[in-house]
Structure 1
Amino acid sequence: MKNTRQILGLAFMSFALTGMYGCELKPKKATTEPVLAQSFTTANDEKPKTNTVKIALLLDTSNSMDGLINQAKSQLWDIVNKFTYAKCGNEQRPELQIALYQYGNDNLSSREGYIQQVLNFSGDLDEISEKLFSLTTNGGEEYCGEVIHTSLKQLNWGENPDNLKMIFIAGNEPFTQGKLNYKDAVTNAKEKDIVVNTIYCGNYEQGISSDWKNGATLTGGEYIAIDHNRKVVHIDTPYDDVIIQLNSKLNKTYISYGAMGSAKMEKQSTQDSNAYELEEAVAVKRAVSKSSRLYKNKNWDLVDASDDESFDITKVKQDELPKELKGKSKAEIESYVQEKKSDRIKIQKEIQTLNAKREKFIAEQQKEGGKGELENAMLEAIKKQAAKKDYKWEE
């Protein structure tokens, strides 16, 4: 089912909804650990954060899902840009972590049910983008119950009852395929306080008859059916080129350090290129995401690392510093970092200001052309639910 253009837009909009149920009324006291060079830990090793929303995205990568994958690559930045404005009732900003699975692909192991964990829970936006761009499609068997069960078993969902945990599964074959009954899988999810949302790529009634709706209903989740022939139209604006230019300047404010610093900086550049090659509008959305609070890289960037009170620049070894800082005194390094930080703040503010104008321009064009009715309806529903759960959206 090619050119499935709406699916991930709706899925990621629904991601914003996920944060609405995870607000803790009282912030928990968090312990801090020193940020040191080479402290690259996976999300599974990190201590639970307050107000963390965990999303597992399960994507069908069989031959018919090329459009689904392309949509995932571009719509990642939409959810980040919407989610960045969310605030809990306790005035804290929620964190967002995404895990990624693919299923239904003949290139995957039959012994594993044609299922693969592509990414564990992560808040690293460059890493999430990299993994999405690594996906390819091939024919296979699509076992919805099995992939849901696998994600429940393999991922560290945490024990915090205040955090919202959700699964979004997208595909187009009957939800009943496979030896493992999907009802057992979703019942297990509900017992773990994990909501399953289903996105059927096809006719609404057909999705109901093939049990996609029931798979969501059993956990209180949402069932969405998408007309895959409807295309998302990206609207070019007068602000796009300037935002892309500012993104290049933004990249120059990063100061890599540690054993993987250079590789992480290269990954940042690669994901910029991937977004641009997909479509210029996607590169603009990514640049906006990089100017938000959710794009943080303290494990390889000295500017972000310096925001942590426990960070000690003297603990970074000389051979782990970039060339321009080798042999410099602590005062000289701190001055250089502060200069880059000031530049970054200025550039990010410029991007945010231009993006506000860009969004206004897009809204006006959509009204004139009658575009985006379904997406607008989804956003309205999200904000209504947010209000019920004591969430605020401060843009």
Structure 2
Amino acid sequence: MLPFTGSLDSLSGALFALRTSGSLEYCGRVLTSALDELHWDSSPGSYRTIFIAGNESFGQGDVAPVNACVSAQRKDVVALLVWNDRLNQTYLSYLQPTYDTVPVSDLNDPNKVIQYRVVIDSMNFSAGSGLNRIAIKGNARLDRNESWDLVDAERAHPGFAGALERRRLPQPLRHLSPEELTALIRSKGAARDSIRAEITTLSDARSAWLERERTLRAHTAGFSLDTALEKILKAQLQARAFLVD
């Protein structure tokens, strides 16, 4: 659905667009497609991994997962499987299908369509997921939007704004002189840096509190999926000489 990207918004949009029907899970085919169709970094020092999660048999589909795993090993890609079928036999529906309606006229209004999408997307967020997303948005190394954001594009490619055709700019920016456009980009960039610094401070404080809570509950609550994945990732990254803070 999406190539490798540094844009969290693009990734979030693709994830929210995913729909499942409760049918078969073709793990072998998915792994093979990811290995063959994505442009993997071939640098020896890079860490390459695929997370694949499901609750069905790993061997479904026309592509044998073992062959996909062998291919992953050859390409130095770690395939991490997250599987849990304990809830499969516990569902008992008692509701008839219902359909939420949206006025047809609203579908002709781009602003209202965007509003509906934001509301729907927000319904899929837990509080923790939302805060984690904000923390990532606050990290300039993790959230890059050169493809559409003028501030990021100018920082990644100095002189980009000056070389951009004026007709490609939004209407309010077309009348600005080169000096005014540069000043505006710098102003927006400085404001973003300030907000990101505040996000980082708050995120660090939250992380410290969560770590203390995890330590206190470790003997009784055990590992959650988040902590288990974090432990695995840290171990694998450190094995490849990455520094993990």
What is the alpha-carbon distance in structure 2 between the residues aligned to residue 354 and residue 297 of structure 1? 23
- Alignment partner, residue 140 of structure 1: 23
> Normalised by the size of structure 2, how large is the TM-score?
0.72
Structure 1 stretch displaced more, 322-331 or 130-139: 322-331
Kept in 1: contact 2:56–2:85 (CA 8 A): no
Deviation at 1:125, TM superposition (A): 1.3
- Report which of the two has the higher share of strand: 1
SS at match of 2:175: coil
Task: Select which of 151, 163, 173 maps to 1:325.
Answer: 173
1:1-395, aligned counterparts within 5 Å?
Answer: 118-157=1-40, 159-202=42-85, 274-275=121-122, 278-292=125-139, 293-368=141-216, 370-371=220-221, 373-374=223-224, 375-376=226-227, 379-380=230-231, 382-394=233-245
What is the alpha-carbon distance in structure 2 between the residues aligned to residue 312 and residue 179 of structure 1? 47
| Residue identity matched to 2:242 | Y
| Cα-Cα RMSD | 3.3
> Normalised by the size of structure 1, how large is the TM-score?
0.48
What is the alpha-carbon distance in structure 1 between the residues aligned to residue 76 and residue 117 of structure 2? 37
Q: Unmatched 5+ residue regions in structure 1? A: 1-117, 204-226, 229-262
| Residue identity matched to 1:149 | T
Deviations 1:182-230 (A, max 9, x none): 3223223323333322222136xxxxxxxxxxxxxxxxxxxxxxx89xx
What is the alpha-carbon distance in structure 1 between the residues aligned to residue 119 and residue 150 of structure 2? 20
What is the alpha-carbon distance in structure 2 between the residues aligned to residue 177 and residue 297 of structure 1? 37
Kept in 2: contact 1:172–1:201 (CA 8 A): yes
Deviations 1:306-353 (A, max 9, x none): 213443322222232234322121111111111111111111111111
Q: Unmatched 5+ residue regions in structure 2? A: 89-109
What is the alpha-carbon distance in structure 1 between the residues aligned to residue 229 and residue 173 of structure 2? 49
**Which structure would you say has the larger RCO, counting Cα contacts within 8 Å and 6 or more residues apart?**
1
Aligned residues: 218
Deviations 1:155-205 (A, max 9, x none): 3335444433322222233223334333223223323333322222136xx
Name which one, 1 or 2, has greater alpha-carbon Rg: 2
Deviation at 1:365, TM superposition (A): 4.0
Structure 1 stretch displaced more, 285-294 or 171-180: 171-180
What is the alpha-carbon distance in structure 1 between the residues aligned to residue 72 and residue 7 of structure 2? 25
| Residue identity matched to 1:135 | L
| Residue identity matched to 2:80 | N
Deviations 1:124-152 (A, max 9, x none): 21111111111222132333323323333
Kept in 1: contact 2:50–2:80 (CA 8 A): yes
